[in-house]
Amino acid sequence: MPQFPRTGSCLHPLSYKRYHAGFSNEGYLYCSRDDTVLTWSSHNPHYTRIASKHPWMLTPEEWGAVEAALKPCPCGGEFAFANPPRCPQCHRVRPDLALDRAHYVLVGRHLDGDVEAVWAK
């Protein structure tokens, strides 16, 4: 597993897995408070009731509709498209992990929105 070097914002080296959301037809959001990443299929029925296009094609206005349809993270944080990934040890922001909008990284807890009850509406 690749590791990022230590940075000024976080002193913990991290192991991570990077995924291409477009190749796997997935949407993803990071938690605002911890390392949790929520993913879902762009064909998920909860999602398709909100949006009719792949998550990476949404406008900022459409982001809000998706975010509003989700339950809070189990830690109490909120899932949002603008949230960056966080260190699983200190929970500091790790913008160095965010390659681009087409990729996401797993460094800690993963919630699968296709099998777990993450949708509020």
Note the pLDDT of residue 102.
Answer: 87
Give me the amino acid identity at 83: N
Residue 9: band (very low, low, confident or very high) from pLDDT cuts 50, 70, 90: low
CA distance 51 to 65: 8
Query: Which has the closest alpha carbon to 64: 77, 76, 79, 75?
Result: 79
Note the pLDDT of residue 1.
Answer: 45
Is the confidence at residue 110, as pLDDT, over 90? yes
Note the pLDDT of residue 2.
Answer: 46
**What tokens appear for 73 in the block?**
């993270």
